[in-house]
Structure 1
């Protein structure tokens, strides 16, 4: 395994930024965790998902309605991931540890695993963002080339045309293949995972079994194999595409940096906070509907700098971060519309396929 890279020693930017953000919360008297509106949203999304599941599985609607409901389940499921699971996994959903754990465990019910997510996302992606070989989020090889340091194959010339197909498959591949791959390999990218406790093992296998029961065995028994297969593929592909697109728009766009450590010193050029800003981009931050649906993950700069602050506070703290970037001469990447970010992502894929 390659040694993990080191960041530049200077932390003046990050220290000053933390001081200003802490001052904002002290002066406003706000908690850094979620508000009542976040709890209401979590309940609305969860009830909607359960209602859709119960209706499509137990009440056997017409084929067309069933397909539409499965697609809606995929969209609502991804919204639960963005709004509930994501904040819970970062410990920012609530002041209560058990509430955060409960929110994070929605991933386990959906078929993923909160332990693997914590290792992959919280500990690795948030530390070594866009560093090839360490950030698993930019490793879609050989199907997609997401960094200039990755090998290029002839078929990558067309990746800006076929990427949507692999994005749609993400969720299905995640729950049926990627979690198990990490489990048996014992590492994510080049980084070994920490040893799993007996509880971690029980959660991994217990919830994988529960997911198979709820999303495979029971539906197959009640509606038949082929009806289940069509519905599950629709559900999984919609969820996968939504999840992939939102996270990719944050880092694999034209203006995001892809730093690599120095060959001899193994050091990255910037301190950690500046590294996060350079490798991340926001999109459609003035669109309240998008912000509501994606759980503030269109404010990815704020999220990467302060993952333990709930996304409900990102619009306010973004003003402080923008001001800091202006003072320190750090470029703050932002696309005013989601379609601009999508266009930039497609253009980036085209460049990586032909460079």
Structure 2
């Protein structure tokens, strides 16, 4: 389908948000990019990754400890994606472009190509959030039905039970299958991929081979095939589960909307910022541990409105956005705890598991 357009309102809610947010950064005399707290966190996460990898691959820990370390490695991998790659990919990790590029390349190091992600996430998902047929994040066919506009299959009757398994496979599927589908089709769904330069092709294959060598060939050589297979599946599935849950709580919950463009005009009847607020939800924003681990992705409203602002500033600007929403009469979707957001996601899946009722006319 052709990408839809958004209406241009006479009085822009988003213009007011940008004005107030800019005033905040001028008042505190700070850049909207990352600060020393983010850089310390990045150092901790990267050091943890190296330590866990080296200990697992070269020191052959006891089975029980290896299982724990594989789980931890999966959690650290997800956290690097949330905190380093994500901010870097959006250009908010640092005010220096080359630092953002390096931060974004942490994705390549862990097996998932940043070029594919930029088109899928920055260009498509952040523009056409929750629009079925455009936002590739909604495409989990045939295993999951994530919005009412999608076809109902018999398998979906039980999706609110088996979704955990589907989510656990996300990271492995992403690294070893979907990146290659995007590369060879040069598309994300139906939308053309950003044109790849020679350096992008070299980067794609170079990092894919490096990842395969580090996470497949070398571990098999040092610990053997079966121990590697068990460990890699635990690592990859825990990474996928954590990543999927965090991102699904942002958009596929009970209070999120899934608008479709008007057929005649191919327009979404909202300005872009209002569309983001209707399709996005926050969770557990008062929990500092959740905020630290998820790289502020529990502040998804703030992130979707201002993706080029680092997540370290989300707690502060959330107050500005909440106040503006109250003044403009705009709903601000938020779940107080991670648990309540997960339950809402399950309820959403359960509702979509039902066979749609055909209305007789």
Q: TM class, shorter-chain normalised?
A: over 0.9
Q: Structure 2 CA distance, aligned partners of 1:291 and 1:128?
A: 25
CA distance in 2, matches of 1:57, 1:48: 14
Aligned with 1:33: secondary structure?
A: coil
What's the counterpart of residue 359 of structure 2? none
CA shift for structure 1 position 63: 1.2
Paired position in structure 2 for 1:30: 30
Number of the residue aligned with 2:159: 159
Paired position in structure 2 for 1:319: 319
Deviation at 1:246, TM superposition (A): 0.1
* Cα deviation 1:133-176 (Å, max 9, x = unaligned): 11111110010000101000112111000000010000000000
Question: Matches of 2:194 and 2:207 in 1, distance apart?
Answer: 20
Provide the rounded CA distance (Å) in 1 between the counterparts of 2:196 and 2:155.
39
Normalising by structure 1, report the TM-score: 0.99
For residues 58 and 161 of structure 1, the distance between their equivalents in structure 2, rounded to whole angstroms, comes to: 38
Look up the match of 2:234.
234
CA deviations on 1:303-331 (whole Å, 9 max, x unpaired) are: 00000000000001001101111111111
- Which whole-Å deviations, capped at 9, do the CAs of 1:198-231 have from their partners, x for residues lacking one? 0010010110000000000000011111110000
**What is the distance in 2 between the residues matched to 1:224 and 1:301?**
45
Q: How does 1:196-345 map to 2 (within 5 A)?
A: 196-345=196-345
Separation in 1, partners of 2:196, 2:26: 38
CA positional deviation for 1:57 = 0.2
What residue number does 1:4 align with?
3
CA distance in 1: counterparts of 2:329 and 2:94, whole angstroms: 34
TM-superposition CA deviations, 1:96-128 (whole Å, max 9, x none)? 111111111010010000000100001100000
- Cα distance in 1 for partners of 2:101, 2:226 equals 35
Please state if 1:190 is matched with 2:204: no
Who is 1:19 aligned against?
A: 19
The offset of 1:194, in angstroms, is 2.0
Matches of 2:106 and 2:282 in 1, distance apart? Answer: 26
Give the alignment of 1:52-131 within 5 angstroms: 52-131=52-131
**How many angstroms does 1:190 deviate by?**
2.0
SS of the residue aligned with 1:347? Answer: helix
- Distance (whole Å) between structure 1 residues aligned to residue 147 and residue 185 of structure 2: 24
Return the offset for 1:68: 1.0
- Specify every segment of 5 or more residues in structure 2 that has no aligned partner in the other structure, as ranges: 357-361
1:33 deviates by 0.5
- Aligned residue for 2:268, secondary structure, equals coil
Q: Over aligned residues, Cα RMSD in angstroms?
A: 0.7
Q: Deviations over 1:234-262 (max 9, x none)?
A: 00000000000000000000000000000
TM-score, with normalisation over the residues of structure 2? 0.97
Mapped partners of 2:334, 2:351: distance in 1: 20
Q: Which runs of no fewer than 5 residues in structure 1 stay unpaired?
A: none
Which residue of the partner structure matches residue 139 of structure 1? 139
Rounded Cα–Cα distance in structure 1 between residues aligned with 2:132 and 2:185: 19
SS at match of 1:134: coil
Cα deviation for residue 281 of structure 1 reads 0.1
- In structure 2, distance between residues paired with 1:155 and 1:53: 38
Is it true that 1:352 corresponds to 2:352 in the alignment?
Answer: yes
